[in-house]
Each structure stands twice: as C-alpha cells, then as structure tokens.
C-alpha cells in the first residue's frame, strides 16, 4: 500500500511523554455537558432575552502583553537552540496590530450596564447568529477575528459547545480532529482542548493541517476557558505576510521538487507512555484506521514489529484560498519537520537526529531532505509576521486557516491555562 521513498525509517527507540495528562487533568472530562442541537433563543423573561447582542468593530488593536514576550532566547521553542540559524528569530514577539487580529466587542444594548452577569446569562446561540455576518465580511480581509466581552457566556466547555453548534448550523461541515499529529483531549462532541503538550513547549505558529485527513481545516474557533497567569499567549501569524517575505527561491524549490512530502509516524497504544498513538489520533482499530486512511487518500505502512504506523501524503506548499483563489502559504513544512520536536520539545529532550522516527517529518515531494538552513528561513518569515495575543477568559478567536497561522507560547508549568478548539473543515 505504501510506496517506499528513498529513506528507510528505523524504529529502534521509543520516546515517552511526560506532560500529556497534566493539563488535561484540570478539566472534568467525566462530565461532558449536554448541548442543544436545536437550541433557539429563549422567549421572554430574564435580562438575556431582551439583550441586543451587538458586536462592534473596534478598529483598535488588542491590548499587548504587559511585558515583552521573549522569542529567540526562549526554552522549548523550535529552532531556538540551533546556533547559526537561531539569530534569524526575533528577540521578542510583536504586539497585536489594529488590523491583525481584527477585534469585535460584544455588547448587550441598553442593559449593558449590568455587565458580566448579563453576558453570563446570554445565549451562545444568539452570539453565534450575531457573529456570522461579521465573519463573512471580516475573515477574508483580516484572516483572524477576535471577539472580546463574551467572558462567562462561552468561556467554558458547555457555552463554547453550544456556540460552535450554532456556528455549525450556519456553515456546513464541522467534523472532529482525526488525523492530527499532536496531543489534545476530547471535551464534548464538538470541542477539544487546544493542546495537551508540555507547558514549557512553544507550539510555533502553523496552519492546522491534519495530514492524515482527507479535508483541510477551513476555520478554527478557539476560546480561552482558563486565563493564564504566566505566559501561554496565542501567537498568530499573518499568512499573506509570510508568503511575501518568503525567499522566492524556497517557494520555487517546492514547486520544482513536487511539493511537500509529509511523513507522520504513530506508535501503537500498546507501547507504554508514547507521545501519541494511532488508536487515538486515527481510529481505535487497525481495520477502522485502514478504512479511514483509504477514504482520506493517504499512503500508509504498518510496521509489524511494534504495530506502529507511518502515513505519507504529498501536497503543494502553496495552495489557492478556497474562496478568493489567492495564493496562500498553506502547509506544515516547518511545523512537521523533525526540528519541531528535536532540541526543543521537553518530551524528546536529548534525543539525537538519527535515533529513530520522529512523530512528524517533512521533505521535498521528490523525497529529498530540506536543508536546515531553509527551514530556518521559513521560521524567520513566520515569526516576522507573528503577534502575541494575551488570553482573557472568554476571549474568542476565529481563524481563517488559509490566511493565518496559530500557535501557543509556552507557560510556566503548574500554572493555569486552557483554551478550547473546534474546527470547521472544507
């Protein structure tokens, strides 16, 4: 089923996750709330029923972090520990701009003076209806729209689930995050934790991709459900800026060499303490995993000696925007390269380059390795166009996955932080 490339992956070592359960344990996963498929706004009674549900464009930038957010010197940042190329990373993260992300402020009309209590009682369903026309207008222009002021209404799993269910009914196809390569936890039918990866690890900005899935994520909805106290900002990147700043030689190399070859390796859950496994990220049984992968159009190979699985897909590095047709730097060249984990991820500390398969790796479409210096230049273009968004409880961020990249700055272990995510696919 899987046509071997020029490289044979060795499977001589195992790497064990330490941090996966830590952040997920803060959620009460045994009590996933019910949500209401057909929820309509309540009629009559209570302040929420008379609220106006207004969303106003502020034209102002989100408030920046109180202190500069280090990038180049950051522990747990891909590329930061690589002498010679880490100098390409900025010293600190740029603050939010007036046009990126765009900002909507939620208000509840004449009753707004009642403040947070009123918002907490308001309807996620109605906020979703109010938001949709703004998204249709603003997302193609700005790439990311943030909504402030929703606080306790959607800043928790139940409210956010009801919100995204209403969004789903307005758009088309919300499915779950099969085919992902990182770690997260399902919270409700429509919502997952943003990431369960080690707090000390910075998830550098990336397009959501789900290599093993048939469809690419189209829009991402993220909400802060637990406000951090020490770091953990969203780092978000203006996609058109990345393509404009990308050396033309690099873009042309991917065109000339058949695009990007993604290799995603999943161990089996039978192996103790692994970072991820195919039973969780693809499907629970081998037969179901094969059915899923056949549907998705991937190549795959089972490794009988340890029941691990390699998935391969080759895609262009630049893709047309599904609505506007504009060229987008839409790939995971850097965030699926082994250096996404090597020399930076605490769960893989001390591991050498040739010690076995990494969870992910990218090459040119012809099977050739991408030079580390070129990966560094890609990271330079990404971080140059990235801003830091401090999290507030209930802050909503909607991402056009083709026009913007998203990530998470590291935060202090043992301190609070949680964001939740739901995704709409093509």
Determine the interface stretch with Fe ion among 19-27, 203-211, 237-245, 318-326 (rule: CB under 5 A).
Answer: 203-211
Answer whether 125's CB lies under 8 Å from 110's CB: no
Determine the interface stretch with Fe ion among 132-140, 200-208, 245-253, 391-399 (rule: CB under 5 A).
Answer: 200-208
Our CB check for Fe ion shows the closer of 208 and 226 to be 208
Determine the interface stretch with Fe ion among 97-105, 184-192, 204-212, 411-419 (rule: CB under 5 A).
Answer: 204-212
Size of the site for Fe ion (CB under 5 A): 1
CA distance 149 to 349: 40
- Cα–Cα distances (Å) from 387 to 105, 228, 233, 305, 362, in that order, read 20, 17, 10, 45, 26
Q: Shortest Cβ distance from residue 220 to Fe ion (Å)? A: 7
Helix H or strand E encompassing 390: none
Give the residue ranges of DSSP H helices in 213-285.
Answer: 239-245, 248-256, 278-281
Q: Shortest Cβ distance from residue 218 to Fe ion (Å)? A: 13
Q: Shortest Cβ distance from residue 83 to Fe ion (Å)? A: 28
Apex 202 CA angle, 188 and 95, nearest 5: 100
Nearest to 65 by CA among 89, 93, 90, 91: 93
CA distance 55 to 103: 10
Pairing of strands 260-266, 308-315: antiparallel
Output the six-digit token pair for 260: 């990007």
Helix H or strand E encompassing 342: none
Our CB check for Fe ion shows the closer of 208 and 315 to be 208
Compose the 138-177 pattern: x for residues touching Fe ion by CB under 5 A, - for all others.
----------------------------------------
Q: Shortest Cβ distance from residue 208 to Fe ion (Å)? A: 5
- Taking CB under 5 A as the criterion, the residue among 197, 204, 208, 233 binding Fe ion is 208
Q: Shortest Cβ distance from residue 136 to Fe ion (Å)? A: 23
Buried b (16+ CB within 10 A) or exposed e, 396-405: bbbbbbbbbb
Our CB check for Fe ion shows the closer of 204 and 208 to be 208
Q: Shortest Cβ distance from residue 184 to Fe ion (Å)? A: 9
Our CB check for Fe ion shows the closer of 126 and 403 to be 403
CA distance 181 to 171: 26
Site for Fe ion in 363-422 (CB under 5 A): none
Our CB check for Fe ion shows the closer of 127 and 358 to be 358
Those residues whose C-beta lies under 8 Å from the C-beta of residue 213, and which sit 6 or more positions away, are 178, 179, 296, 425
Q: Shortest Cβ distance from residue 419 to Fe ion (Å)? A: 10
Our CB check for Fe ion shows the closer of 196 and 208 to be 208
Pairing of strands 386-389, 234-238: antiparallel
Our CB check for Fe ion shows the closer of 127 and 329 to be 329
Q: Shortest Cβ distance from residue 406 to Fe ion (Å)? A: 6
Q: Shortest Cβ distance from residue 116 to Fe ion (Å)? A: 30
φ, ψ (nearest 5 deg) of residue 311: -115, 140
Our CB check for Fe ion shows the closer of 24 and 48 to be 24
Those residues whose C-beta lies under 8 Å from the C-beta of residue 277, and which sit 6 or more positions away, are 266, 267, 268, 269, 271
Q: Shortest Cβ distance from residue 335 to Fe ion (Å)? A: 8
Determine the interface stretch with Fe ion among 48-56, 201-209, 259-267, 318-326 (rule: CB under 5 A).
Answer: 201-209
Which residue has its beta carbon closest to Fe ion?
Answer: 208
Determine the interface stretch with Fe ion among 148-156, 206-214, 249-257, 328-336 (rule: CB under 5 A).
Answer: 206-214
Nearest to 131 by CA among 107, 115, 100: 107
- Cα–Cα distances (Å) from 245 to 77, 242, 260, 377, in that order, read 21, 5, 19, 10
Determine the interface stretch with Fe ion among 90-98, 208-216, 268-276, 315-323 (rule: CB under 5 A).
Answer: 208-216
Binding site for Fe ion (CB under 5 A): 208
């Amino acid at each position: 089923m899987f046509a071997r490339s020029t490289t044979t992956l060795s499977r001589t070592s195992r790497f064990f996750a330490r941090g996966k359960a830590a952040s997920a344990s803060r959620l009460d996963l045994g009590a996933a709330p019910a949500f209401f498929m057909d929820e309509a706004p309540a009629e009559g009674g209570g302040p929420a029923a008379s609220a106006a549900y207004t969303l106003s464009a502020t034209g102002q930038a989100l408030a920046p972090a109180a202190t500069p957010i280090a990038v180049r010197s950051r522990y747990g940042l891909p590329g930061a520990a690589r002498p010679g190329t880490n100098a390409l990373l900025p010293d600190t993260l740029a603050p939010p701009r007036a046009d990126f992300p765009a900002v909507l402020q939620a208000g509840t009309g004449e009753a707004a003076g009642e403040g947070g209590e009123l918002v907490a009682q308001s309807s996620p369903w109605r906020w979703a209806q109010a938001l949709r026309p703004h998204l249709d207008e603003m997302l193609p222009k700005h790439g990311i729209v943030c909504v402030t002021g929703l606080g306790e209404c959607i800043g928790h799993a139940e409210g956010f689930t009801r919100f995204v269910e209403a969004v789903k009914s307005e758009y088309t196809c919300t499915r779950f995050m099969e085919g992902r390569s990182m770690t997260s936890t399902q919270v409700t039918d429509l919502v997952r934790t943003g990431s369960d990866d080690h707090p000390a690890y910075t998830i550098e900005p990336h397009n959501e991709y789900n290599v093993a899935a048939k469809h690419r994520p189209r829009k991402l909805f993220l909400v802060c459900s637990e406000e951090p106290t020490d770091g953990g900002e969203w780092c978000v990147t203006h996609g058109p800026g990345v393509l404009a700043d990308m050396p033309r030689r690099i873009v042309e190399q991917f065109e000339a060499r058949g695009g990007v070859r993604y290799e995603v390796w999943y161990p089996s859950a039978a192996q103790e303490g692994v970072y991820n496994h195919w039973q969780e990220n693809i499907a629970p049984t081998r037969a179901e995993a094969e059915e899923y992968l056949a549907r998705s159009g991937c190549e795959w190979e089972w490794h009988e000696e340890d029941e691990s699985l390699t998935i391969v897909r080759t895609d262009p590095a630049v893709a047309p925007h599904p609505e506007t047709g504009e060229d987008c730097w839409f790939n995971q060249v850097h965030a699926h390269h082994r250096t996404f984990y090597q020399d930076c991820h605490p769960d893989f500390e001390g591991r050498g380059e040739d010690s076995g398969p990494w969870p992910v790796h990218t090459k040119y479409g012809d099977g050739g390795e991408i030079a580390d210096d070129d990966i560094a230049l890609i990271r330079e273009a990404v971080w140059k166009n990235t801003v830091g968004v401090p999290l507030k409880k209930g802050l909503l961020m909607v991402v056009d996955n083709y026009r913007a990249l998203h990530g998470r700055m590291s935060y202090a272990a043992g301190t609070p932080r949680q964001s939740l995510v739901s995704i709409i696919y093509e």
